[in-house]
Structure 1
Amino acid sequence: MEYLLKVKLGALVGLLILTLFIGLIPARMKWFRETSGTETHKVLLSFISCFAGGVFLAACLLDIIPDYLSDIGAELEARAVDTDFPVQEFIMALGFFMVLILERIVLNCSGQSGEESAPLLGHGHGHGHGHGTAGDLEGSSQHVHVDKQAHSSFRSFMLFLSLSLHSVFEGLAIGLQSKESQVLQICIAILVHKSIIVFSLSVKLLQSAVKPFWVLAYVGVFAMMSPLGIGIGISVMEAKLESGTLIQAVLEGLAAGTFIYITFLEILPHELNSPEKPLLKVLFILLGFSIMAALAFIG
């Protein structure tokens, strides 16, 4: 077995186990069944989310996009495709809009489109709901936006569905890489981000009075989504189809668009728009970016 394939399989298993472990922590602690945590707890999660945003930003700008542009450029040149239309950027835009449209459909189906402006994956602070005081909104700052009147099993399922769609595309970015260092860097980015998401999802499910069995089922299925994406990416690369290189390059572009969406529309805006400790948040974003940039430089 090639070393690259071993690294990808290791990332697959590692993501699965760690996501399951972190997602089940709230279910085992009475504190999370009764409250969303103290202010210290919320601020800590916010800093971790900012760190994840920096990691995603570096993975997106320093790894995924450059590699994708190189691969798709070489493939278009090999196929003698000569056009002034920006095909490479258009494919990334398709990935961006694909996730945006899917999320909007989920929001619309869950009946939340007119009630809250925060995306399901948002880490927003103080998004308006049209009810409650400003103090109440500030006090509700947390990584999965909680509407106290929206703790329903159906909404929790729609939240789960939206997050799962994101996870598949995140895993796809790992499975399509051609270098071990890139697999590890992107895996770190996804692991940090997904740990926060699955933790918050588990808290949301518990607050929605979902039965423990279904909490376990939701977390279990969600944990398998990124590994599923990794598996799809590995299959595309291992199949060695006649058009396999082109398919791989196009999927890389879609995955790059997904990373752009998650980074610039999900994590960074909702954290930076929050008034709490803005300079420290920027510091944690820079820290995450710097660590990934250092890894890329060494690699």
Structure 2
Amino acid sequence: MNYLILFILTTGAIIGGFSVFFVKKDHPQRLKLILAFSGAYLFAITVLHLLPDVYQGNNHEVGLFILGGFILQILLEQFSDGIEHGHIHKHSHQKSFPWGIMLSLSLHAFLEGMPIAAAHNQELVLGIAIHHIPAAFALGSVLLSNHISKKTTSILLIVFALMSPFGYLFSFSLKNGALLGEYYSSIMGIVIGIFLHISTTILFESTVDHRFTLKKTLAVSLGLLLALVGYLLH
């Protein structure tokens, strides 16, 4: 078990979630730039690292799990309103707890953490951590807009931040039991499908009329470049 992985996975969501108490949400430009960067980085590591790795065993059924992960993410977003890719909706007219958003987002984070125990992929860990920054920020925004107290919001953000580490710990325990190797390709396939959906959605939704401004182009280029450097140095 790698404690640095646990720290990185938790820190990304904590930074993104608790920044909601300090950042003015009326100016979402910075969040959009983070989204553009994380979307490009997620897409690049999926293409450069995850897809080649998962097909190394010549298991052609992996494609079914990738498709399943893509469809699963569509289903999860019916409950989460797209919070996974930083999509913030206004729910100020509601005063009920958004159970669907919290549960689906937690399941999403748990699934993302599962392949890490066998992948030993630094790019995957960093990608998940970066991706959780805008997702946690959006979750915190939705909780506050639903009149959830700051104390309860803080607790829930910590719970969300721990879900990917829990996924990692769970899969690590399976690995010690020699079970993860058998299901690794299937689990990774689902995560790849989720990543493909999220990253492409981010890249389209973070732009107006699908046009890239100079700042967003630079953010996307930086995300692609960082993933490419990791690929070349791997």
Q: Tell me the TM-score normalised to structure 2 length.
A: 0.87
Please state how far the C-alpha of 1:226 moved relative to its aligned partner. Answer: 0.8
Q: Distance in 2 between matches of 1:26 and 1:95?
A: 29
Map 1:270-281 onto structure 2 (within 5 A). 270-274=205-209, 278-281=213-216
Query: 1:201-244 CA deviation, whole Å, 9 max, x = no partner?
Result: 22222222112231122111101111111112222322114xx4
Please state how far the C-alpha of 1:278 moved relative to its aligned partner. Answer: 3.1
2:76 is aligned with 1:119: no
- Contact persistence 1:121–1:162 (CA under 8 A): no
2:25 is aligned with 1:36: yes
| 1:206 counterpart letter in structure 2 | L
Q: Secondary structure at the match of 1:292?
A: helix
Gaps of 5+ in 1: 77-85, 108-117, 124-142
- Select the residue among 201, 224, 227 that pairs with 1:289: 224
Please state how far the C-alpha of 1:275 moved relative to its aligned partner. Answer: 6.5
- Contact persistence 2:73–2:194 (CA under 8 A): yes
CA spacing shift, 1:154–1:277, aligned 2, 3 Å? same
Gaps of 5+ in 2: none
CA spacing shift, 1:275–1:289, aligned 2, 3 Å? closer
CA spacing shift, 1:18–1:254, aligned 2, 3 Å? closer
* Greater radius of gyration (CA): 1
Q: Distance in 1 between matches of 2:118 and 2:72?
A: 19
Q: Distance in 1 between matches of 2:171 and 2:224?
A: 25
Q: Distance in 2 between matches of 1:286 and 1:21?
A: 23
Q: Secondary structure at the match of 1:121?
A: helix
Match of 1:246 in 2: 182
Please state how far the C-alpha of 1:286 moved relative to its aligned partner. Answer: 2.0
- Contact persistence 2:12–2:132 (CA under 8 A): no
- Contact persistence 2:118–2:181 (CA under 8 A): no
Match of 2:198 in 1: 262
- Select the residue among 114, 130, 133 that pairs with 1:192: 130
Q: Secondary structure at the match of 1:70?
A: coil
- Select the residue among 209, 217, 225 that pairs with 2:163: 225
| 1:248 counterpart letter in structure 2 | Y
Q: Distance in 1 between matches of 2:85 and 2:183?
A: 31
CA spacing shift, 1:249–1:194, aligned 2, 3 Å? same
Please state how far the C-alpha of 1:122 moved relative to its aligned partner. Answer: 4.3
Q: Distance in 2 between matches of 1:100 and 1:277?
A: 25
- Select the residue among 113, 119, 123 that pairs with 1:171: 113
Match of 1:136 in 2: none
Please state how far the C-alpha of 1:274 moved relative to its aligned partner. Answer: 4.9
Q: Distance in 1 between matches of 2:223 and 2:207?
A: 15
Match of 2:96 in 1: 153
Match of 1:140 in 2: none
Match of 1:129 in 2: none
Please state how far the C-alpha of 1:87 moved relative to its aligned partner. Answer: 1.7
- Select the residue among 146, 149, 154 that pairs with 1:208: 146
- Select the residue among 21, 25, 31 that pairs with 1:45: 31
Q: Distance in 2 between matches of 1:271 and 1:46?
A: 6
Q: Distance in 1 between matches of 2:187 and 2:233?
A: 27
Please state how far the C-alpha of 1:251 moved relative to its aligned partner. Answer: 1.2
Please state how far the C-alpha of 1:158 moved relative to its aligned partner. Answer: 2.5
C-alpha RMSD of matched pairs (Å): 2.4
Q: Distance in 2 between matches of 1:36 and 1:185?
A: 30
Match of 1:112 in 2: none
Q: Distance in 2 between matches of 1:21 and 1:61?
A: 27
Using the aligned pairs only, state the percent identity. 23
Q: Secondary structure at the match of 2:84?
A: coil
